[in-house]
């Protein structure tokens, strides 16, 4: 018998290729005759393009093409609204918008050509904040978008006003969150070429090869079968590499224009300008509780900033407006969310996908109200947590939840009961405090269309080893490893005997891609279906050769043998060859498809069980606050992740702590600075992320709630852990010094100002 790796920590199957430098990222690809692309971007947040003269650029030796909005693709693209052109035509709406693209024989020549393109702009007034854009006389960012509103969400469940009237405590506050850059090490990159048959081929860093193909085909007006997309090794995505940037589109345009392969790799500044950052939101939250701390009413108002184009921001705001409602038993909820256009760089998908913003507000609010009621916030969370088997206020069916266990694990790890408020009557400049927060997320999401499944194609070669095709993207989170583990377990073969082919739209089955924490759930289940179908073929072949009924056979240890007489056996290699080399023979090749038993939400009521499973997490932190400098130092952090079942604990811990690090960065350090609408810190020197010396030894725990729909009980484990961190830190700051920061990031300046307003640090 081969030892199953399920539930054990194994290295990622593609780790060796990465650490030895043999993995091919999009920027590494070299093709004969390859040209290099560069993009000219607008210096203004809002301007009319009066005239573009590319004569000098075209005359520069080595320049093969210059494309502008006037002769670029006329088909607009976008997710919620089709409103953005590949290259701006007539008007630019944010500083950094793509105006022209160059293809040249070297990157240096392409860069020089950009300087030779003469663009005459007429600068126009820019609306840089949602408040400016919502003002009564504000000009439209987009014609026809009344009031500069991209999208609006309204709903009400239960009897909200009546519940507030009966509440023992009603508390209202406004929370402000800011944009966060994904911070992946590999900037966006694509290589596009026209093959011998005239088809467009694109290698790109992406989270969804098929979504990229669909957009390329639509914008470039090609049949989808004339476009091939191959996912190159992807160096992190975090939501930023779905379909919200123009990198692959511009590479495709230049390749079609020149007939030569074109490589387009962003510099770090270009990536800051081109990549969608997380959606800034202003959240006004009103919550009602009874005397015991039970939430009885909730009212949310959100103003979100999508920037110049809506992208995925509407879907992000949708999550902010309603997902956290499902974490609690409260049946009285109301929400009004407004997405606003501004003349700033577009925002969109980011790890946590709108949950981070709302859970900062909600968890801060719960902590504040628990203290007002003289209750332990931990007990308030436990009291309100939805339980397994319940249906939430929006119709979500909770098949598993380990939220209570996550809270307990965090409390024990941080020493919650014994260490809170231990600064009593001590006059010290540096004070410590504890904070915690809770979160939920989805594992899959039936919202793109009425399918939330995955397909895996599996074949057994003549040597008995397995080749697996899936177009679910591996971007460092371990998708390839998970699929290998599942197939190796089902066929009882060594992990090394399974090879997962990178996504290729010509040879991989159609899949949605890596988003909404769906890959383990959807692709893991599809891999089980495919592996069992392959095993059935092996057993059928062995039954004929061993002259034994299928029911008496077992597939184990790389063989199929008769249970009663194990010495009567055949290897998978022998069976695979025998299946092929016979009259009417065939190779063993199967397809397994799995679709979640969920339902699309009703577009009018927003009701519906959208995901096959829901993940939960909690985090507890200890901070030290220097009351003289305002500096907040994270002393300890423990995040607990309910992932259903940990198929690879090492990978889950890596994802949990990586998510926690991003949350810490967003809360304390990161801030995208705009000056007159222009990004002023678009590099890793000035955009301050949490480095190793700013982090404590991050700790994490796993709760296994064994979801009935997940593969072997597993569900998503890559996103949920980013959600509770910001509020946990803010709550710990309050515990330390008695001031509550409601506007992120928590900077020394804000903290010192709050301390001055509130007097000396409180003494518990």
Tens-place pLDDT, residues 726-735: 999 999 999 9
Task: Check residue 603 and give its pLDDT.
Answer: 86
Closest of 475, 523, 12 to residue 241, by C-alpha = 475
Q: What is the pLDDT of residues 678-714, one digit of tens each?
A: 999 999 999 999 998 999 999 999 999 999 999 999 9
Give the model confidence (pLDDT) of 574-633 as tens digits.
999 999 999 999 999 999 999 999 998 888 999 999 999 999 999 999 999 999 999 999
Query: Please, which pLDDT band fits residue 80 given cuts at 50, 70 and 90?
Result: confident
In the prediction, which pLDDT does 428 show?
A: 80
Burial of 124 (0-12, 13-18, 19+ CB in 10 A): middle
pLDDT, tens digit, 9 for 90 and up, residues 168-181: 999 999 999 999 99
Q: Which pLDDT score, from 0 to 100, does residue 572 have?
A: 98
762 confidence band (pLDDT: 50, 70, 90): very low
Judged against a pLDDT cut of 90, whether residue 275 lies above it is answered with yes
**pLDDT reported for residue 420:** 61
pLDDT tens-digit series, residues 373-431: 999 999 999 999 999 999 999 999 999 999 999 999 999 999 999 876 555 444 589 99
- Provide the pLDDT for residue 513: 95
Evaluate whether 404 touches 380 at the Cβ level (below 8 Å): no
pLDDT of residue 423: 53
Question: What pTM value is reported for the model?
Answer: 0.96
Dist. CA 318–CA 322, nearest whole Å: 6
Q: Are 437 and 363 in contact (CB under 8 A)?
A: yes
- pLDDT grade for 514, boundaries at 50, 70 and 90: very high
Domains recognised in the chain with CATH numbers: 26-124+185-236+241-274 (3.90.1170.50), 277-446+603-758 (3.30.365.10), 453-595 (3.30.365.10)
DSSP bridge pairs for 288: 170, 297
Select the more confidently predicted residue: 423 or 345.
345
pLDDT score, position 421: 54
Tell me what pLDDT residue 763 has: 37
Q: Please, what's the b/e burial string for 640-659 (b: 16 or more CB within 10 A of its CB; e: otherwise)?
A: bbbbbbbbbbebbbbbbbbb
Kindly report, residue by residue over 180-194, the tens digit of the pLDDT. 999 999 999 999 999
- Give tens-digit pLDDT for 212-232: 999 999 999 999 999 999 999
Model pLDDT for residues 283-319, shown as the tens digit of each residue: 999 999 999 999 999 999 999 999 999 999 999 999 9
Q: Is residue 82 a contact partner of residue 76, using CB atoms and an 8 Å limit?
A: yes
Give how far Cα 702 sits from Cα of 401, 556, 705, Å. Answer: 12, 30, 10
Give pairs for 679-688: CB < 8 Å, separation 24+: 679/95, 679/96, 679/272, 679/273, 679/345, 682/268, 682/269, 682/272, 682/273, 683/268, 683/269, 683/272, 684/268, 687/181, 687/272
| Residue 226 confidence (pLDDT) | 98
* pLDDT value of position 370: 98
Per-residue pLDDT at 11: 95
Average confidence (pLDDT) over 190-203: 98
> 466-469 and 699-703: which strand pairing?
unpaired
| Percent of the chain residues topping a pLDDT of 70 | 98
C-alpha dihedral sign at 292, 377, 731, 156? negative
Work out the mean pLDDT of the chain and round it to a whole number. 96
Q: What is the pLDDT of residue 3?
A: 83
Provide the pLDDT confidence category of residue 1 given band limits of 50, 70 and 90.
Answer: low
């Amino acid at each position: 018998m081969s030892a199953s790796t399920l539930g054990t920590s194994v290295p990622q199957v593609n780790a060796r290729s990465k650490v030895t430098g043999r993995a091919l990222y999009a920027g590494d690809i070299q093709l004969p005759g390859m040209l290099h692309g560069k993009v000219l971007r607008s210096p203004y947040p809002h301007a009319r393009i009066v005239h573009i003269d590319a004569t000098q650029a075209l005359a520069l030796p080595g320049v093969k093409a210059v494309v502008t909005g006037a002769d670029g693709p006329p088909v607009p693209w976008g997710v919620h609204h089709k409103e953005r052109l590949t290259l701006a035509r007539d008007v630019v709406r944010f500083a950094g918008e793509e105006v022209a693209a160059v293809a040249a024989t070297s990157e240096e020549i392409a860069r020089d050509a950009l300087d030779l393109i003469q663009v005459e702009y007429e600068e126009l007034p820019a609306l840089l904040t949602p408040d400016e854009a919502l003002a009564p006389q504000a000009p439209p960012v987009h014609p026809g978008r009344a009031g500069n509103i991209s999208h609006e969400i309204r709903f009400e469940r239960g009897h909200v006003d009546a519940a507030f009237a009966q509440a023992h405590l009603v508390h209202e506050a406004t929370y402000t969150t800011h944009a966060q850059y994904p911070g992946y090490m590999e900037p966006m990159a694509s290589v596009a070429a026209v093959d011998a048959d005239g088809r467009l081929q694109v290698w790109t860093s992406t989270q969804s090869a098929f979504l990229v193909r669909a957009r390329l085909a639509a914008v470039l007006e090609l049949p989808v079968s004339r476009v091939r997309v191959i996912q190159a090794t992807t160096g992190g995505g975090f939501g930023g590499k779905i379909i919200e940037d123009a990198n692959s589109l511009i590479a495709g345009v230049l390749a079609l224009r020149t007939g030569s392969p074109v490589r387009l790799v962003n510099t770090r500044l270009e990536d800051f300008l081109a990549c969608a950052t997380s959606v800034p939101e202003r959240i006004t939250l009103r919550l009602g509780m009874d005397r015991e701390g039970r939430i009885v009413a909730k009212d949310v108002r959100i103003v979100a900033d999508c920037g110049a184009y809506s992208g995925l921001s509407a879907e992000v705001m949708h999550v902010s407006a309603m997902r956290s409602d499902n974490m609690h038993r409260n049946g009285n909820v109301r929400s009004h969310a407004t997405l606003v256009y501004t003349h700033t760089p577009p925002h969109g998908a980011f790890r946590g996908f709108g949950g981070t913003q709302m859970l900062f507000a909600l968890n801060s609010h719960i902590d504040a109200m628990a203290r007002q009621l003289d209750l332990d916030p931990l007990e308030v969370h436990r009291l309100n947590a939805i339980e397994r088997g319940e249906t939430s206020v929006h119709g979500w069916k909770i098949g598993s939840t380990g939220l209570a266990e996550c809270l307990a694990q965090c409390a024990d790890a941080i020493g919650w009961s014994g260490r809170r408020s231990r600064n009593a009557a001590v006059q010290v400049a540096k004070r410590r405090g504890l904070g915690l927060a809770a979160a939920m997320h989805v594992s899959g999401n039936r919202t793109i269309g009425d399918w939330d499944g995955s397909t895996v194609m599996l074949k057994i070669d003549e040597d008995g080893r397995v080749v697996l095709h899936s177009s679910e993207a591996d971007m460092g989170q371990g998708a390839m490893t998970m699929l290998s583990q599942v197939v190796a377990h089902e066929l009882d073969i060594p992990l090394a005997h399974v090879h997962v082919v990178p996504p290729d739209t010509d040879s991989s089955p159609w899949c949605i891609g890596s988003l909404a924490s769906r890959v383990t759930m959807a692709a893991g289940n599809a891999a089980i279906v495919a592996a069992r179908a392959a095993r059935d073929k092996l057993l059928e072949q062995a039954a004929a050769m061993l002259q034994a009924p299928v029911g008496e056979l077992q597939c184990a240890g790389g063989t199929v043998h008769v249970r009663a007489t194990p010495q009567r056996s055949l290897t998978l290699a022998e069976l695979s060859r025998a299946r092929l080399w016979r009259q009417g023979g065939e190779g063993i090749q199967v397809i397994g498809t799995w679709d979640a038993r969920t339902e699309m939400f009703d577009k009018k009521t927003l009701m519906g069980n959208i995901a096959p499973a829901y993940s939960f997490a909690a985090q507890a932190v200890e901070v030290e606050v220097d009351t003289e400098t305002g500096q907040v130092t994270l002393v300890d952090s423990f995040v607990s992740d309910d992932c259903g079942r940990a198929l690879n604990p090492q990978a889950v811990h890596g994802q949990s702590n990586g998510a926690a690090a991003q949350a810490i960065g967003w809360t304390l350090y990161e801030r995208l600075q705009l000056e007159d609408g222009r990004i002023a810190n678009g590099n890793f020197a000035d955009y301050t992320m949490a480095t190793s010396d700013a982090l404590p030894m991050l700790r994490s725990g796993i709760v296994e709630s064994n979801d009935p729909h997940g593969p072997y009980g597993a569900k998503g484990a890559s996103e949920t852990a980013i959600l509770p961190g910001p509020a946990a830190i803010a709550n710990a700051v309050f515990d330390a010094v008695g001031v509550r920061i409601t506007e992120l990031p928590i900077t020394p300046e804000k903290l010192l100002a709050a301390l001055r307003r509130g007097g000396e640090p409180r003494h518990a």
